[in-house]
C-alpha cells in the first residue's frame, strides 16, 4: 500500500505500474495518498472557452487577469488595460487554473464582480455544484495530492505547460457533497478566527499612534479627501509644491502640541548614504542591509545578501547600535520607512538607505524611529517625497528638514517603552495567527484527502 512506502533514495515499482520513465514523477505517483474516491477533474467541471471581443475588452467592462498568487490562490485583475493576446471569459464562480503554474498552486476562484479576461495559458472551469463544492474543489486542486499530479503531467520538477486533456484527467478527491460542505464550513470558521486575531493586532497599531499623539498633546488627524482646489496663506507657504501644500491641509498642526518642535537636522550628529557596490548571495564578505530588510518599523534579516569591501570602506559603513536606517527610495507607501539598528555582529548598509546618528543627549534613536514611521513623520514624508518612474524619493536635505516634537529624554523613554510593550502584543498576536494558520492548513489538507475525518478533529 502507498501508506507503507518509505520515501527513501531508492524504491521499487512493478513493471506493470511503470507509466513514466522519469524518476521524480514516478516517485510522486507511487507516494501520492488520498483516501477518498477519486474522479477525473473533467467529470465534475466544464471548460468555459468563450473568446471576448476586442470591443468588449476595450470597453473596460472586462478586467484583464494580472496574476494568480501562489500562496493564497488569489486572483489579481484590472491593472492592465491593453493586450495583444486573445482574451477568454472567466465569470464569477469559475475556477481559473494556470496551465504553467498549477504545480505552484496558481489556481483561483473568480469572486463576484466583473468578468475577467484570461489568455490561452489559463483555463476557466465551471464546477458542477450538484456534485462538488466550489471552495472544496479549489482546495483540492491546491492540495499536495493534485499539485503532485501537476508536477508529473508537466514532466516533473515543474517543466512545461499542462495540456487541456491532461488537466481534465487530473484525479481529484470526491467525498460526499455534505462532507465537502462540512470541511469548507470548518475552513471558513477557522479563517474568520484568524482574521479576528489579525484585526485585533491592527487595532493595537492604531492604538499606539493615537496614544502617542495624545502623550505629545496632539489630536489624531482626520481622514479627509484632498481638495482639488485650495488656498494657502503666504506665511504658511513653506514649499513651492502643490502636493505638499495639498497634503498640508490635512496635516496634524505640530504647533499645537505640548512640546517644542525642532528641525531634525539640528538633532543629528551624522547623515550618511550607504554603498552602491553589488551584493552577492554566496555569503562571501559582510552582510548588507537593504531597503527590503526594513519591515514595519523593524529590521527583518531573514533575507540577507553579502558584499566584499575594503577595510577602509567597511569601517566607514559598519553599523553601530542606535543607528537609524531611513529608506530614501521605494514605493510611495514605503519611502521614508525606517528602523533602528540593535543587532549583534557586523553589518553594512546599501545605497537606498540613509544612516542617521542622533545627538543622544537630545534625541533617542527609537523615539525618532517611531515618530518618523508614525503619523507625524508620515504626513511630512508623503508631502515631501517625489514620484519618479514608479518610485518615490526623498533626499538627506529633506530628511533633515522634518519637524520633530521634542520632549525631554525621560518622556521620550516612556514613549519608547510604551511602544515596545504594544509592539510585543502585536508580535504575539501575529505569531498566534501564523501558528493557527499552519495548523488549519494541515488539518484542511488532511480532511480534503481523507487522511483524517471531522470526528477526529472535534
- In this structure, the answer to whether residues 188 and 328 fall within a common structural domain is no
- In this structure, the answer to whether residues 311 and 223 fall within a common structural domain is yes
Domain ranges, residue 391: 219-406
Residue predicted with more confidence, 386 or 403 = 403
Of 210, 189, 194, 197, residue with least CA distance to 428: 197
- In this structure, the answer to whether residues 438 and 315 fall within a common structural domain is no
pLDDT digits (tens, 9 = 90+) for 305-348: 999 999 999 999 999 999 999 998 877 777 889 999 999 999 99
Domain CATH number, residue 333: 3.90.220.20
428: Cβ–Cβ under 8 A, 6 or more apart, which residues?
A: none
Residue 108, H or E segment? strand 107-109
Q: How far apart are CA 198 and CA 315, in angstroms?
A: 42
Confidence of residue 30 (pLDDT cuts 50, 70, 90): low
- In this structure, the answer to whether residues 56 and 194 fall within a common structural domain is no
Q: Cell numbers at residue 59, please?
A: 470597453
pLDDT at 56: 84
Per DSSP, the residues of 235-251 read GG--SS-HHHHHHHTTS
pLDDT at 175: 96
Confidence of residue 50 (pLDDT cuts 50, 70, 90): very high
Helix axes 177-215, 375-384, angle to 10 degrees: 90
Beta bridge partners of 340: 324
Strands 391-393 and 329-330: antiparallel
Q: How far apart are CA 275 and CA 402, in angstroms?
A: 24
Confidence of residue 1 (pLDDT cuts 50, 70, 90): very low
Q: How far apart are CA 433 and CA 195, in angstroms?
A: 8
- In this structure, the answer to whether residues 161 and 208 fall within a common structural domain is no
CB-facing half-sphere around the CA of 390: CA atoms within 13 A: 0
Of 120, 149, 174, which one is at a domain's C-terminal end?
A: 174
- In this structure, the answer to whether residues 363 and 432 fall within a common structural domain is no
Q: Cell numbers at residue 435, please?
A: 501558528
Q: Could you report how far apart the first and last alpha carbons of the chain are, in Å?
A: 28
Residue predicted with more confidence, 152 or 164 = 164
68 and 124 in contact (C-beta within 8 Å)? no
Strand segments, DSSP code E, in 58-176 are 63-68, 75-77, 88-90, 95-98, 107-109, 116-118, 122-127, 171-173
- In this structure, the answer to whether residues 202 and 247 fall within a common structural domain is no
pLDDT digits (tens, 9 = 90+) for 5-26: 444 556 566 665 555 555 555 5
pLDDT digits (tens, 9 = 90+) for 252-299: 778 888 999 999 999 999 999 999 999 988 888 999 999 999 998 899
Q: Residue 3: what are its φ and ψ, rounded to 5°?
A: -65, -25
Residue position matching grid coordinates 499536495:
144
Q: Residue 88: what are its φ and ψ, rounded to 5°?
A: -115, 145
Of 174, 199, 231, which one is at a domain's C-terminal end?
A: 174
Q: Residue 94: is it exposed, middle or buried by C-beta count within 10 angstroms (0-12/13-18/19+)?
A: buried
- In this structure, the answer to whether residues 422 and 396 fall within a common structural domain is no
- In this structure, the answer to whether residues 286 and 398 fall within a common structural domain is yes
Maximum alpha-carbon separation in the chain: 88
pLDDT digits (tens, 9 = 90+) for 422-441: 999 999 999 999 999 999 99
- In this structure, the answer to whether residues 149 and 252 fall within a common structural domain is no
pLDDT digits (tens, 9 = 90+) for 57-77: 777 788 999 999 999 999 999
Of 384, 406, 428, which one is at a domain's C-terminal end?
A: 406
Question: How many separate domains does the chain show?
Answer: 3
- In this structure, the answer to whether residues 363 and 235 fall within a common structural domain is yes
- In this structure, the answer to whether residues 129 and 271 fall within a common structural domain is no
Amino acid at each position: 500500500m502507498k501508506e507503507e512506502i518509505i520515501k527513501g533514495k531508492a524504491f521499487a515499482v512493478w513493471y506493470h505500474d511503470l507509466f513514466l520513465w522519469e524518476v521524480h514523477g514516478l516517485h510522486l505517483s507511487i507516494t501520492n495518498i488520498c483516501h477518498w474516491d477519486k474522479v477525473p477533474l473533467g467529470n465534475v467541471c466544464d471548460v468555459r472557452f468563450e473568446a471576448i471581443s476586442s470591443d468588449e475588452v476595450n470597453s473596460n467592462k472586462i478586467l484583464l487577469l494580472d496574476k494568480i498568487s501562489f500562496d493564497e490562490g488569489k486572483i489579481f485583475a484590472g491593472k492592465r488595460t491593453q493586450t495583444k493576446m486573445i482574451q477568454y471569459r472567466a465569470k464569477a464562480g469559475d475556477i481559473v487554473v494556470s496551465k504553467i503554474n498549477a504545480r505552484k498552486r496558481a489556481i483561483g476562484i473568480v469572486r463576484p464582480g466583473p468578468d475577467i479576461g484570461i489568455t490561452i495559458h489559463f483555463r476557466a472551469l465551471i464546477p458542477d455544484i450538484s456534485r462538488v463544492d466550489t471552495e472544496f474543489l479549489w482546495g483540492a486542486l491546491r492540495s499536495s495530492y493534485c499539485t503532485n499530479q501537476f508536477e508529473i503531467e508537466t514532466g516533473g520538477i515543474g517543466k512545461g505547460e499542462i495540456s487541456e486533456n491532461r488537466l481534465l484527467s487530473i484525479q481529484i478527491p470526491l467525498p460526499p457533497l455534505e462532507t465537502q460542505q462540512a470541511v469548507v464550513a470548518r475552513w471558513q470558521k477557522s479563517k474568520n478566527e484568524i482574521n479576528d486575531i489579525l484585526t485585533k493586532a491592527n487595532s493595537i497599531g492604531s492604538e499606539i499612534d493615537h496614544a502617542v499623539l495624545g502623550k505629545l498633546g496632539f489630536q489624531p488627524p482626520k481622514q479627509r479627501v484632498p481638495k482639488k482646489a485650495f488656498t494657502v496663506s503666504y506665511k504658511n507657504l513653506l514649499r513651492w509644491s502643490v502636493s505638499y501644500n495639498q497634503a498640508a491641509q490635512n496635516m496634524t498642526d505640530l504647533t499645537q502640541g505640548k512640546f517644542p518642535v525642532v528641525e531634525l537636522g539640528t538633532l543629528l550628529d551624522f547623515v550618511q548614504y550607504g554603498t552602491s557596490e553589488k551584493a552577492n548571495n554566496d555569503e562571501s564578505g559582510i552582510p548588507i542591509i537593504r531597503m527590503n530588510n526594513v519591515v514595519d518599523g523593524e529590521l527583518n534579516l531573514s533575507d540577507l545578501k553579502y558584499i566584499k569591501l575594503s577595510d577602509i570602506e567597511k569601517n566607514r559603513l559598519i553599523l553601530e547600535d542606535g543607528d537609524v536606517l531611513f529608506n530614501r527610495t521605494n514605493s510611495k507607501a514605503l519611502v521614508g520607512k525606517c528602523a533602528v539598528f540593535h543587532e549583534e555582529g557586523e553589518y553594512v548598509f546599501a545605497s537606498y538607505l540613509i544612516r542617521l546618528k542622533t545627538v543622544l543627549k537630545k534625541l533617542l534613536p527609537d523615539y525618532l524611529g517611531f515618530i518618523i514611521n508614525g503619523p507625524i513623520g508620515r504626513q511630512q514624508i508623503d508631502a515631501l517625497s517625489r514620484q519618479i518612474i514608479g518610485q518615490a524619493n526623498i533626499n538627506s536635505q529633506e530628511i533633515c528638514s522634518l519637524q520633530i516634537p521634542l520632549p525631554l529624554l525621560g518622556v521620550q523613554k516612556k514613549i519608547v517603552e510604551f511602544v515596545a510593550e504594544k509592539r510585543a502584543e502585536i508580535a504575539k498576536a501575529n505569531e498566534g495567527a501564523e501558528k493557527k494558520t499552519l495548523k488549519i492548513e494541515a488539518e484542511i489538507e488532511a480532511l480534503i484527502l481523507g487522511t483524517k475525518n471531522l470526528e477526529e478533529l472535534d
